[in-house]
Every structure is written in structure tokens, then in C-alpha cells.
Amino acid sequence: MSKIIVRGGNILKGEVNISAAKNSVLPIIAGCILSDDKCIIDQAPMLEDVFVISDVLRSVCAEIDVNRKDSRIIIDSTAIKDCEPAGELVRKMRGSFLLMGPMISRFGRFKLSLPGGCNIGTRPIDLHLKGFSALGAEVNVGHGYVEAYAKKLIGSKIYLDFPSVGATENIMMAAVMAEGETIIENAAAEPEIEDLAKFLNSMGANIIGAGSGTIRIIGVKSLRGTTHRPIYDRIEAGTFMIAAAITRSRIKINGVNEEHLKPVIAKLTEAGVFIKIEGDTMVVDGTGDLKPIDIKTMPYPGFPTDMQSQIAGLLSTVHGTSIITETIFENRFMHAAEMKRMGANIKIDGRSAVIEGVNKLTGAEVRATDLRAGAALILCGLAAEGETQVTDIYHVDRGYVDIEKKFQGLDADIERVNV
């Protein structure tokens, strides 16, 4: 077990390089099993979640070479079997459920341990299952497992009651070799879905409209191997943007896509942060006077729920009242209690958090309750007076590559200690 110790107060300076997106690479790794040719993922982020999904695939006999030095993953699924993947690995990471779509597509059946809830909410999978059923699969849930069978998947029209990212991806992967045409309506439009479609199309799939609310998938007979470089991680970039703002510093961030970051740029600009973008580089200047703002998390292109805890940390340091409304996950304010231990003034009322900016945050021992909450607490630690210790840091390692090293490169006083 390791924890991160931050001694707050340093002004950040210099530049940081953003890694590839966790939320792109996970479905892409799952998508690799749609072909029995080799697939290569270049510049892959070396993250705990990536290692776990690789182990899940190994447990169904895929050969995966994760080259940490070159940040390259080579996936050979020739020998893959339609057996049940190791349950303890599947339960470790909800993202494992993304294997369901490609496995049904390839083998016509698959059985998987049901993903549990998590700290941020119950996270049901009904929309994924509704999609598989619409494609002609027989889906059974019971005894902690979900099983699906289909002699043949047949294209269909599927309306999602909510634009779920995972359901859109899973259904897209199940439909890619189905007979005929599938249309997903009210699909999620996140950039990671567009990236997955780009990857699948480079394997020979025929997907049109990914990145919009309507996705059309024309089934093809087979898919071939490919090489793909996933998009930059917009949430990691957003986290460093907030690092500049919360420490009232000016830093350069390399590896950003302006379009993907629009909602974060808009809200930080409204708060008084100065942002300049040239190509895929951004300068974030948080040295001016900052003012409170209201935020509502929404499906893309709305403000991302994955940035909610980090911006709550920032707004805790901005004089005046800010209100955050969380509409995506029902229990995503766990960080508030930890931030309060650092002197933040946050009141939770149902799905809203009312934040009164305080003069200063003070270092404390706090616990990362989930991935983004952990990142947010590190950000608070950078701005706080004295020392902050963030425990349960394994949550953060799921989604941030070398977070303490990247902050050290920006002159922060931060270290990881193994306890």
C-alpha cells in the first residue's frame, strides 16, 4: 500500500505531458478480441486498470504483451477461448464488463461475474443487456453471473434510455459483426466512443456517426488486426488545468484536444482562469482573481462528472458561493467529507454541493475514496498549508500515470511512500 505526501504552498511551473486516455484504451483493448489477428496499441497509458484488463484477457487465453518501457501493448487473441474469465479479476474492475459485447460477437456466448456497485453509485448494466437482447442474444442474470447466448446476432434499432458510455461501447462492439444494420439512438457522444469507432473502423468495421447521438453500424463479416494510438486523456489534462488554478500558478500542458476539453475550458474561463491554446499545447494561468461558479455535470459535451471532485477542490479555495449539481452518479460527493477535514466548507444537499470558499485549506490525512476523489485531494494538498497525506492511493493509480512524478516535474513538493 502506498500513500502520497504533499507539502502545499509551492507555485507550480514548467510543463507536463498528458498520457493517452484510460477510458479510450480500456474499450479498445476489449475490442482487440474481435479479430484473431494481432492488434497493437501505441502510446498506451501504463495504468493499473490496463494491467487488470490485460490479466482478465490472459485468463481467457489471449496473449498480451504490455511493454511498459515503450508504452506499447500487443494483443494476440488467436488462442482466446470462450471460457469464463477469472471472477476475482473481473470484480476488481467494472471495465471488464466491456468484454461482454466482443465475446458474444466472437463466440456467440459468454458468462461473466456480475460487476458490483462502487463508491460512486450502484452502476447498473441494464442498458448493456437491453442492447444485447435487441441484437438477438438470450441474456440470463442470476447467482452473481450474467450469461448471454446468440446463434447469430442480428442488427437492430436500439434506443438507450440514458446515453451510457459503457453501454454504447459494448453494444457497438457486439453489433460490429452482426448481420445487417444496427442503429443506436440516444447514444453517448464522448470522444472516447469516437476513438473506439475509429479503432474498430481501422480493423474493417463500418461505423458511422460515433461521437454523435445516433450511431449506425453496418455489420461486416470479419475484422483484421490494426495499430492504434488512443486520444489524449481529457480528464488528466483537466486535472492539471485545475492544479494550475488551485495553486494560482501558470503551467504548460502538452497533449490536449481543445474540442474535447471545451466544457472544462468554458467553466475555468468563467471562474477567471486564463487559458491559451496552440495546437495540442495549452498554457493555463491561474494567477488572476478567481470567482465562484455553478456547475452541473452532464453527458458529453456537458461538464464531465469525472472532473467534478477536482473542481470542487478548486472552488473550495475561491471566495464566494459555488454550487455543483451532480446528475450522472448518485453518490459522487464522497470527497466532500475528506475535503472538510482540510478546512473546506461544503454542504451536500441531495445531488448538490454548496461550496463556500475558505481563506485557506490546511493539510490533513485524507483518504482517496475513488479515483477522481483521490486526484482532487492531491490538488487540495498542493494548495493547503502544511502537509497532506492521501491514503488508499491505489484508486488514483487506476487512472493517472506517474501522478507524483508529473507533479514533481512542475516543482510541487510531493512524494510517494510505501507503507
Does 305 sit near ligand UD1 (CB under 6 A)? yes
Q: Provide, rounded to whole angstroms, the least separation between the CB of residue 402 and ligand UD1.
A: 20
Does 167 sit near ligand UD1 (CB under 6 A)? yes
Q: Provide, rounded to whole angstroms, the least separation between the CB of residue 222 and ligand UD1.
A: 26
Q: Provide, rounded to whole angstroms, the least separation between the CB of residue 209 and ligand UD1.
A: 18
Burial label for 300, CB within 10 Å (0-12, 13-18, 19+), is buried
Give the separation between CA 162 and CA 368, rounded to whole angstroms: 28
Q: Which is nearer to ligand UD1, 123 or 351 (CB)?
A: 123
201 is in an annotated binding site: no
Q: Point out the residues that are catalytic.
A: 118
73 is in an annotated binding site: no
Does 232 sit near ligand UD1 (CB under 6 A)? no
126 is in an annotated binding site: yes
Which residue has 456497485 as its cell numbers? 117
Give the separation between CA 9 and CA 6, rounded to whole angstroms: 9
Does 260 sit near ligand UD1 (CB under 6 A)? no
Give the separation between CA 293 and CA 303, rounded to whole angstroms: 13
Does 379 sit near ligand UD1 (CB under 6 A)? no
Does 44 sit near ligand UD1 (CB under 6 A)? no
Q: Provide, rounded to whole angstroms, the least separation between the CB of residue 336 and ligand UD1.
A: 17
User: Treating both helix axes as pointing N-terminal to C-terminal, what angle do 100-107 and 165-175 enclose, rounded to 10 degrees?
Assistant: 10
Does 288 sit near ligand UD1 (CB under 6 A)? no
306 is in an annotated binding site: yes
Q: Provide, rounded to whole angstroms, the least separation between the CB of residue 106 and ligand UD1.
A: 21
Residue facing ligand UD1 at closest CB distance: 166
Give the separation between CA 231 and CA 47, rounded to whole angstroms: 15
Q: Provide, rounded to whole angstroms, the least separation between the CB of residue 242 and ligand UD1.
A: 16
Give the separation between CA 299 and CA 213, rounded to whole angstroms: 11
Q: Which of residues 79-98 bind ligand UD1 (CB under 6 A)?
A: 95
Q: Which is nearer to ligand UD1, 106 or 128 (CB)?
A: 128
Does 124 sit near ligand UD1 (CB under 6 A)? yes
User: Treating both helix axes as pointing N-terminal to C-terminal, what angle do 126-134 and 100-107 enclose, rounded to 10 degrees?
Assistant: 20
List all residues 6 or more positions away from 142 whose beta carbon is below 8 Å from its beta carbon.
none
Which one of the spans 66-74, 79-87, 116-124, 223-231 is the region binding ligand UD1 (CB under 6 A)? 116-124
The torsion angle over the Cα atoms of residues 149, 95, 198 and 84, rounded to 10 degrees, is -30
Alpha helices in 59-164 (DSSP H): 87-92, 100-107, 126-134
Does 398 sit near ligand UD1 (CB under 6 A)? no
Of 14, 79, 145, 162, the one binding ligand UD1 (CB under 6 A) is 162
49 is in an annotated binding site: no
Element (H, E) at 207: strand 206-208
Binding residues for ligand UD1, how many (CB under 6 A)? 21
- Convert residues 318-347 into a mask of x (bound to ligand UD1 by CB under 6 A) and - (unbound): ----------xx------------------
Give the separation between CA 32 and CA 395, rounded to whole angstroms: 26
42 is in an annotated binding site: no
The torsion angle over the Cα atoms of residues 272, 278, 282 and 283, rounded to 10 degrees, is -60
List all residues 6 or more positions away from 200 whose beta carbon is below 8 Å from its beta carbon.
31, 34, 172, 173, 176, 207, 223
Q: Which of residues 126-145 bind ligand UD1 (CB under 6 A)?
A: 126-128
Alpha carbon of residue 235 to chain centroid: 7
Q: Provide, rounded to whole angstroms, the least separation between the CB of residue 125 and ligand UD1.
A: 5
Q: Is 335 left (phi over 0), alpha (psi -120 to 50) or beta?
A: alpha
82 is in an annotated binding site: no
124 is in an annotated binding site: yes
Of 30, 125, 176, 290, the one binding ligand UD1 (CB under 6 A) is 125
Does 233 sit near ligand UD1 (CB under 6 A)? no
Positive or negative, the CA dihedral 83, 86, 89, 93 is positive
Q: Annotated binding residues for phosphoenolpyruvate, as ranges?
A: 22-23
Q: Annotated binding residues, as ranges?
A: 22-23, 94, 123-127, 306, 328
Q: List interacting residues with ligand UD1 (CB under 6 A).
A: 23, 26, 95, 121, 123-128, 162, 164-167, 188, 192, 305-306, 328-329
